[in-house]
Structure 1
Amino acid sequence: MTHTEPDARFPFPVTTVPTRCRRRPALFDLSFGDLGGDTKKTAQHRLEQARQACSSCPVVTECLRWALVNKPLTREGVFAGTTPGQRNALRRRLADRLGPEWIDVLAARDQARRERAETAHNTPLSVPQARVVRLDRELNGPMHLPPPLTAEEQRLNRNRLTAGLKAA
């Protein structure tokens, strides 16, 4: 793998939902070394807009992971509501916690998770497990997906993300 190629173990996140970064990429193209004529206040406002957009994104977690793993490709801009400096701080914390080969550790964990999910998917339920599932459906009805996030929930998520980034 060259330094300009993305790590194939961590694919770029995709979703069928049109994300703000796809619709308005200029909003996420922030370089604080070269503000492109923006004042610091304007740049901070644009950063906050980008963070707000990321707070309701369905692939924000995968986006952050991709940006952390692919440092050469994310030296500028906003990914998952984080700036390059914040991502560097998060990488240092990962290295402290998981060791200098933290990317390999994450890849191994992801692979093990996928294998467990595949095994669970291909392993039929035992008769008692199938009975429990059937009874659960009879008593509780079908599982429903959670409703979309409200504006208030999005605001709370944004505040949590901001607080976490400040702590990093």
Structure 2
Amino acid sequence: MRIDPKEFHVHNLRYIIRSAAEDDAKTFSEVRLQIDGETEYLDREQGEAFIDESGFKKIIKEDTESINSLLLVAEVNGRIAGFSRCAGNALKRTSHKVEFGVCILQQYWGFGIGKNLLEASVHWADSNGIKKIALNVLETNDKAIRLYKKYGFEVEGVLKKDKILSDGNYYNTILMGRFND
């Protein structure tokens, strides 16, 4: 699906939250690769599960045409600074829910981009009959956990020793969900 673009001004940074377009595919691939190398909060290391331009074109097209998926970008000066995705599916038993994920280039952390992508996604879900938004978050990502709780997400479970990070230690993944009854 698509949403109307919305402009934000935070700490002298102007950005737009909008639906992804097929023209974004090449930049999407580059930005995702860069983000994967900037943080260990995500599942992938840089270069793993790489999606090229044609792969992103397919994802963007499918998400735009789907009634229960949403792919958003945060655009700064015509360049993607981050993105979020609510990935739904057509299976009858799980078509009421979406999986949420968000990625922001590190240089744009602290400008409310993640919060505004989340807020737009929650509004879209609530307005389109989505009953559950599910997400996974690394236990050490306290800022994200606080934000998710602020928007009504609750802890549903913990996957123990789910990730091994560069320090050689294992970390838990927290499963969270937001319900729209």
Larger Rg: 1
Task: From the two aligned structures, give the one with the greater strand fraction.
Answer: 2
Is the structural similarity TM-score above 0.5?
no
Q: Shorter chain as normaliser: what TM range?
A: under 0.3
TM-score by length of 1: 0.28
